Amino acid sequence: GQQLNQSPQSMFIQEGEDVSMNCTSSSIFNTWLWYKQDPGEGPVLLIALYKAGELTSNGRLTAQFGITRKDSFLNISASIPSDVGIYFCAGYYGQNFVFGPGTRLSVLP
Amino acid sequence: ETGVTQTPRHLVMGMTNKKSLKCEQHLGHNAMYWYKQSAKKPLELMFVYNFKEQTENNSVPSRFSPECPNSSHLFLHLHTLQPEDSALYLCASSQVYTGTATDTQYFGPGTRLTVL
């Protein structure tokens, strides 16, 4: 089945820095979702994107639906310690729903 | 608080044991899901129930047996598991299941299962 690739796999940043991560596929997606999973918890939906080019913000988080419909990007501005966790992209292509492997974010004080 | 609860949060069982995982959603949703999350692998969808009817079974071994007695509760019955079944089992719910982007899923905290 379709696989999603997330980059980077992991990242260490200093508190206050901005973060960028992306999610790519070889298929065209009609929806992109970004989730965050804290240690010991289930994923929590951060942002949902429904059309190509869409740019949506949720506080310090901003996500974009790539115009090729094969990728999506998530940016976090001015990172804080509670941003630590695993960020998953997920999406629908046709009636299929898949998750990416995640980007693990660590924030150094 | 996501409105989806799972019990137990942690479970250790032997390969010959029988145990059950429970999920309850307080969101008034009609679709419920079981996922398996293994280390360094994407979440794997196992089962989907829509209005208490099973609509998806992604080639899951029969040692995993789901049960959905009503739209608010979902169980995963486990028997004769293997060590490679050790993982985080996540439950999720959505308003309905249509197989489209409108099925925004809300996850529970998961049950960490260890099979010895």
Q: What is the pLDDT of residues B19-69, one digit of tens each?
A: 999 999 999 999 999 999 998 788 899 999 999 999 888 889 999 999 999
Span A55-74, mean pLDDT?
Answer: 96
- The whole-number pLDDT of residue B97 equals 85
Q: What is the mean pLDDT of residues A6-18?
A: 95
With 60 as the cut, is the pLDDT of residue B1 above it?
Answer: no
Query: What's the mean pLDDT in A7-24?
Result: 96
Q: Do the Cβ atoms of B101 and A30 come within 8 Å? A: yes
Better-scored residue on pLDDT, A107 or A96:
A107
Residues 6 or more apart whose CB falls under 8 angstroms from that of B109 comprise A40, A41, A42, B5, B6, B9
- Cβ-based interface (< 8 Å): residues of A facing B: 3-4, 30-31, 33, 35, 40-45, 48, 50, 88, 90, 92, 95, 97-102
Q: Note the pLDDT of residue A2.
A: 66
In Å, the largest CA–CA distance within chain A is 42
CA A101 from centre of chain:
10
Structure tokens at A82: 């509670």
Question: Are the C-beta atoms of B86 and B115 separated by less than 8 Å?
Answer: yes
